[in-house]
Amino acid sequence: MRIDSIHRPAAKENKLRAMSAKEFEGAPPSWHACRGMRVMLLRNIAPSIGLYNGSLHTLVGPIYNRDSIVASLTSADLKTGELQDCITTKPIDTCGKVQQIPPKSVLLSVDDVPYCKDTVDEFPSGVHMTCKFQGPSNPPEMPDFMVIEASNYSGPNILRLPGCENYVPIPPVESYKQKAGKTKSNIPLIRIALPLEGGDAATSFKGQGANFPLAEVDLDGWFHVPGIFLVAISRVRSPAHLHIRTFPNYMDLKVQRLKENVLDAQAFEEAVKVKSERMYRHKNCGDPFWTTHYNDLADSIIDQAFAKRLSIKKDKEELIRIVQLML
C-alpha cells in the first residue's frame, strides 16, 4: 500500500510534494509499506515503554477512524476543493481538529442541509458554514493511525482487544520545512506524515542470492552498473511481490552494453558458441550437408565476423563518448 503525506497550505501541495524528505525533518512525501514488514519508529513517543526513536517494530495496518468530517468553511474554501458531483478533487485546509479535508471526500451537508448541488456559487461569500464530509477510508489517503506490533512494548492494551496487547496505534505527526520554514505570507510549510520508515534494507550486492517474500527496489542513480537491476528485481518469487520506485531509461541500458566487462562477457559467450558450433560441424554428427567445402566457407564467414567484432571493441571508447554526449 502507498500512504500519501498531507501538505499545508493546500494551495502549494504540488510544490511541497515535490520536495525531498530532508527538507521536512525526514518525513517523505509518500510511504510504501505492507503488512508484516519491519518498520523503524522515527520519533520518541514513549521511550519508557519501548516506543523510542530508532526502535524496530512490525507493521499491522492502518486505522481510518472517521465516519464523517465536520469543518467550518466558507464558499471560497469549498471552491478550492473543486467539487465534482459533491466530491472534492483537491484538498481543503481547515482550522479545526481536522486540519485538511482530503481529496475524494464527499460533501454530505451544509449547515445540516443535505448537499445536492454541483456548484457552490449560491452560498453567501465570507460566511462560515458547517460542512460535513465523508472522508476516504483507504490508502493512499493518510489514516488516523498506523498500528504497529511492538515486541518491547510494556504499556497498556490500547486497542482493548484480546491478543492485541502489543499493538500500538501511531498517529501522523507534523514536520516543518527546514531553513526557509515560512513563506512570504508568514504561513508555515507543513508536511503531515507517519513517523515510520522501512526497518530492513539491503543493497543489491548484499542481497544477491537471497529470497524475500516482498521487496521494494530503489536503484535511482545506480542503473549504470551492469546487472544490478536484474539482481534487485529477481529477489522475489512473483512480480506481484515487487515494487519498483524508478525504472531505468533506455540510454542507461545502452551505456551498460558498452562497459568493458559486458563486452568481454559477450565476446566470451560468442566464442564458446562458435567453438561449439564449429565442433558440431566438423564432426558432422550424422549430417551429410557439412562437407569440407561448406565447413571452410562457414569458418571464413565466422572469422570475418569476429574481425569486425574486434574492430568495434577497439572503438568502444569512442562509442561511450558519443553515447554520453547524447545523455
Write the CA distances from 216 to 122, 132, 198, 200, 209, integer angstroms.
49, 38, 10, 11, 16
- Specify which residues 175 forms β-bridges with: 191
Q: Measuring CA to CA, which residue among 246, 153, 135, 139 is closest to residue 194?
A: 139
The answer to whether the peptide bond before residue 140 is cis (omega within 30 degrees of 0) is yes
Any idea where the domains of the chain sit in the sequence?
Answer: 2-60+145-198, 69-134, 215-252, 257-326
Encode burial over 247-278: b for 16+ CB neighbours within 10 A, e otherwise.
ebeeebeebbebbeeebeeeeeeeeeebeeee
Rounded CA separation 167/194 (Å): 16
Rounded CA separation 63/143 (Å): 6
- Specify which residues 132 forms β-bridges with: 70, 109
pTM of the model: 0.62
Show pLDDT as tens, one digit a residue, over the chain (327 residues): 889 999 988 888 889 988 888 888 888 888 888 888 889 898 898 888 888 888 889 999 999 876 778 888 888 888 888 888 788 888 888 876 667 888 888 888 888 888 776 555 567 777 888 888 888 888 888 898 999 998 788 888 998 889 899 999 999 999 988 665 444 557 788 999 999 988 877 778 777 778 888 888 888 778 777 778 888 889 888 888 888 887 877 777 777 777 777 777 777 787 777 777 777 767 765 566 667 777 777 777 777 766 666 555 555 555 555 555 554
Question: How does DSSP classify residue 131?
Answer: E
DSSP helix/strand/coil, 7: strand
Rounded CA separation 84/78 (Å): 11
